[in-house]
Amino acid sequence: MEKFAAFLDGINKGVGSVIRWAALLMVLLQFTIVVLRYVFGVSFIFLNEGVLYLHGFLFMLGAGYTYLVDGHVRVDIFYAKFARIGQSRIDLFGHFAFLFPAMIILLYWTWPTVSTSWAILEGPISVGGIPASFLLKSLIPGFCILLLIQGISHMLRDLLRLRGGMN
């Protein structure tokens, strides 16, 4: 199980190492937009949408990696006081009661919209924008799948810990 969990972690590590560049690209693109607008007096809708797309890619596809490195916010005054075994029990409950059902429901309800968007190759959000709204909508199932992958990895490690197989 540990090898399979490591394989699943590797998926989000790979995505994270690629998607982190979206932050740099987003800053550079926004800088370019500001220079073009305030120095040269020109504006392009597709550049503004480019920032929106990069923002979406960064946060939606980066969620699994953030979960991998434990970067999500925890609001639990009791969790930190438990031993690692108690934390694993809480995490398992959270995976089965909240994470897995939420991601599966989100996948189920958004898939028709995403598949329709791909079927018609849905165009830009605004006139003159990037003609690929279908890519932006595809981030939703990508988000769900990457979080499910990371949730399964964490679940496997929690089960191993509860069985006494790891610390």
Residue 77: pLDDT band with limits 50, 70, 90: confident
DSSP 12-47: HHHHHHHHTHHHHHHHHHHHHHHHHHHHS----HHH
Backbone angles phi, psi at 165, to 5 degrees: -85, -10
Q: What was the pLDDT predicted at 69? A: 94
Over residues 81-135, the pLDDT tens digits come to 889 999 999 999 999 999 999 999 999 999 999 999 999 999 998 888 999 999 9
Where helices occur in 40-164 by DSSP H, the ranges are 45-61, 63-68, 84-94, 100-119, 133-137, 139-162
The single-letter code of the amino acid at 46 is F
For the chain, the average pLDDT equals 93
Question: CA–CA distance from 128 to each of 27, 92, 124 (Å)?
Answer: 22, 47, 7
Q: What was the pLDDT predicted at 105? A: 98
Residue 32: pLDDT band with limits 50, 70, 90: very high
Q: What was the pLDDT predicted at 167? A: 59
Over residues 44-62, the pLDDT tens digits come to 999 999 999 999 999 999 9
Could you give the CA distance from residue 51 to residue 126 in angstroms, rounded to a whole number?
Answer: 14
Q: What was the pLDDT predicted at 9? A: 96
Its pTM stands at 0.90
Residue 164: pLDDT band with limits 50, 70, 90: confident
Q: Is 128 left (phi over 0), alpha (psi -120 to 50) or beta?
A: left
Over residues 133-149, the pLDDT tens digits come to 999 999 999 999 999 99
- Cβ atoms < 10 Å from Cβ of 157: 20
Q: What was the pLDDT predicted at 99? A: 96
- Tokens 């279908």 -> residue: 134
Could you give the CA distance from residue 56 to residue 156 in angstroms, rounded to a whole number?
Answer: 29
Q: Which residue has the higher pLDDT, 59 or 74?
A: 59
